[in-house]
Each structure stands twice: as C-alpha cells, then as structure tokens.
C-alpha cells in the first residue's frame, strides 16, 4: 500500500534528471550525530546528488546505525555508496573547487558569499573560460572529466577548523535571522544542495493536480440558458426587460474560464433553483 501511494503522488520515474555539469561531493567532517548523516543523505538524494564522504565520524558504523537509516528516509542508495575516510585529503581526492560552510567570522580566509552569489560567480567564470577557448554555448558550463566541486561541513560541536577553511576557495554563508542563525547540519546541507541544483539547471515542477479540462463554447451557452431560466423562475430576471444581465454574466464566465466540472455545478444550482421555484408555486 505504501509503495503504491508513493508512486502515485511522487512519480520519480517520470521526472527527468538534469545532467550535472560538475562532479559534486558533500563532505561531512567529524560528524557526531548519526541522525545527521541520514538527514544529509536524504537532502542530497532529493536534489539528485549521491557522492557523500564522511571524514572520521564519531561512529565507525554510522552508515549502518538505526538512527541513520531512519533519518535517511529511503535514501539508502546514498548511504550504500557513501565512503568513510580518516583524513580530509582522502575525501577531497579529485576535487578542484572547495566550498566551506563556515558561519563563524574569521580574520583570515577565503571570501564569504551566499551560496547563490558564489554559484553564479563560479558558473560565470567557467563560462568565460570556455568562451575564450571558442567552445559552443551549450558546453560553456562543463568541466573536464575528473574535476569537481566539494562542499565541506564541519562537526556539529565545533564547526570547521581554521586550517580546513583556509584551503577552500569560498566560505558559504546561508542568509539567516541575525538573531538566530543556528542551522541543523541536515537543513544547512539541504539549502546548499538546493541552490547548487538550481544553479546547475534544476528540475521541472511536477503538477500536483491534473490539468483542468475547460468547458467549450456550447457548454457555456447551455449553462447560461439554464441559468437564465432559473433566474426568471425565482423572479430575479424579468424576461420582458432583461437589459444586459445575461451578456454580463456571459462575460464574467468567459473571464473565469470555467471547467467542465464547474459547468456541471452551475447547472446543478440552476436545476435546484427551478425545482424550488416550482414548489413555491404549488
């Protein structure tokens, strides 16, 4: 039953997956809460990313812990592909652009930017570099094979170490309430993953409801005739002096772009009016 429900309302198989122009990796450094690893995996999967590396997490079996699996909420493939390494150097193998997520001000380090601001600059720089080489427009955001972008997240207890921040190209700061800027690790990763996915092209919005079936002109005309009879029956419309009531109602319903179902509702109202008027005359 659950599987059928998910398939009906979240048709993942029908959603086209954008082809990423950058290799993307999320790196969690010395994560202390197993649930945050699961939440990170879930946040990554909903944005179409799957490269997760953990650097010296508190729990050696964190990828198999019950809390991790529960918080992943179905993103088990991300957990299965995740790697645990001892050093940050191992986690950054193959990455060429590093983004720290450091909220604490430092007197030295890379420039601090909002995720969207930095992603826009990054893509523009890449576009300019490729255009200068005379590449086609559709290829200007592509990196060479083996290159990629890594997003680094520090420990929940003490954040990122200065030396780890210093080696990054940018420090990403999520704009938050100045009086309360504390973000859970999973929530912070979700925001950055979303902004990065949008920068890369994003996903099309999937309609939550079926597209409406508009009523055609004869259906609207039939409903107006029915409504005119009902308005006359209850004494609201004087057929001897109708003036412009019906043309105005016609214009109103044209603006409303009635659906076939709405036509049925209005004709039901007209029918009830006629029946009530007939009973009143008896």
13 falls within a domain: yes
CA 80/CA 72 separation, integer angstroms: 11
Low-confidence ranges of the chain (pLDDT < 50): 1-20, 135-143, 145-146
The CA–CA distances, whole Å, from 32 to 37, 88, 161 equal: 9, 16, 15
Query: Any idea what the CATH number is for the domain that residue 272 is in?
Result: 1.10.8
Angular region, 59: left φ>0, alpha ψ -120 to 50, beta rest: beta
Q: What is the pairing mode between strands 148-153 and 23-29?
A: parallel
Q: What is the DSSP string of 30-81?
A: S---HHHHHHHHHHHHHTT---EEEES-S-TTGGG-HHHHHHHTT-HHHHHH
Query: Any idea what the CATH number is for the domain that residue 65 is in?
Result: 3.40.1280.10
Domain hosting residue 195, numbered range: 2-200
| Residue-wise pLDDT tens digits, 165-206 | 999 999 999 998 988 888 899 999 999 999 999 999 888 888
* 235 and 122 part of one domain: no
Nearest residue to 40 (alpha-carbon basis) of 154, 148, 136, 140:
154
The pTM (predicted TM-score) of the whole model is 0.72
* 154 and 263 part of one domain: no
* 221 and 87 part of one domain: no
- Tokens representing 266 are 């209005």
Q: What HEC string does 94-123 produce?
A: CCCEEEECCCCCCCCCCCEECHHHHHHHHH
Other C-beta atoms lying within 10 Å of the C-beta of residue 240: 5
* 157 and 223 part of one domain: no
44 falls within a domain: yes
Domain boundary among 200, 225, 245: 200
Q: How many domains does the chain have?
A: 2
205 falls within a domain: no
* 231 and 153 part of one domain: no
* 80 and 154 part of one domain: yes
Other C-beta atoms lying within 10 Å of the C-beta of residue 130: 17
212 falls within a domain: no
The CA–CA distances, whole Å, from 8 to 5, 66, 208 equal: 5, 28, 10
210 falls within a domain: no
Stretch (H or E) spanning 171: strand 170-172
Nearest residue to 28 (alpha-carbon basis) of 19, 39, 18:
39
The per-residue pLDDT for 125 is: 77
* 225 and 149 part of one domain: no
* 155 and 243 part of one domain: no
* 20 and 160 part of one domain: yes
The per-residue pLDDT for 138 is: 41
Only one residue has tokens 């044209």, namely 254
276 falls within a domain: yes
Say how many residues make up the chain: 282
Domain boundary among 174, 200, 226: 200
Only one residue has tokens 């954008």, namely 18
* 149 and 51 part of one domain: yes
The per-residue pLDDT for 145 is: 45
* 117 and 229 part of one domain: no
31 falls within a domain: yes
Only one residue has tokens 């809390």, namely 67
93 falls within a domain: yes
* 100 and 29 part of one domain: yes
The partner residues of 258 in beta bridges, in order of sequence, read none
Domain boundary among 168, 200, 232: 200
């Amino acid at each position: 039953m659950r599987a059928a429900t998910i398939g009906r309302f979240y048709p993942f198989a029908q959603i086209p997956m954008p082809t990423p122009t950058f290799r993307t990796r999320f790196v969690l450094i010395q994560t202390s809460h197993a649930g945050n690893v699961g939440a990170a995996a879930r946040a990554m999967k909903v944005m179409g990313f799957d490269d997760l590396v953990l650097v010296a997490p508190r729990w050696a079996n964190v990828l198999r812990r019950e809390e991790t699996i529960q918080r992943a909420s179905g993103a088990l493939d991300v957990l299965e592909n995740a790697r645990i390494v001892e050093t940050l150097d191992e986690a950054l193998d193959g990455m060429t652009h590093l983004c720290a997520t450091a909220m604490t001000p430092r007197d030295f380090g890379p420039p601090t930017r909002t995720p969207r601001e930095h992603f826009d600059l990054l893509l523009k720089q890449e576009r300019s570099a490729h255009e200068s080489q005379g590449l086609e427009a559709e290829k200007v955001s592509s990196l060479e094979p083996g290159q990629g972008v890594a997003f680094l997240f520090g420990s929940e207890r003490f954040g990122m170490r200065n030396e780890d921040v210093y080696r990054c190209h940018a420090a990403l700061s999520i704009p938050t309430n100045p009086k309360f800027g504390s973000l859970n690790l999973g929530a912070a990763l979700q925001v950055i993953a979303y902004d990065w996915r949008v920068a890369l092209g994003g996903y099309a919005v999937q309609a939550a409801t079926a597209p409406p079936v508009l009523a055609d002109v004869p259906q609207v005309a039939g409903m107006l005739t029915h409504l005119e009879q009902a308005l006359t029956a209850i004494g609201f419309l004087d057929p001897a002096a109708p003036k412009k009531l019906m043309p105005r109602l016609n214009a109103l319903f044209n603006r409303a772009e009635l659906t076939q179902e709405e036509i049925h509702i209005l004709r039901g109202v007209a029918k009830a009016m006629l029946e009530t008027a007939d009973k009143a005359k008896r």
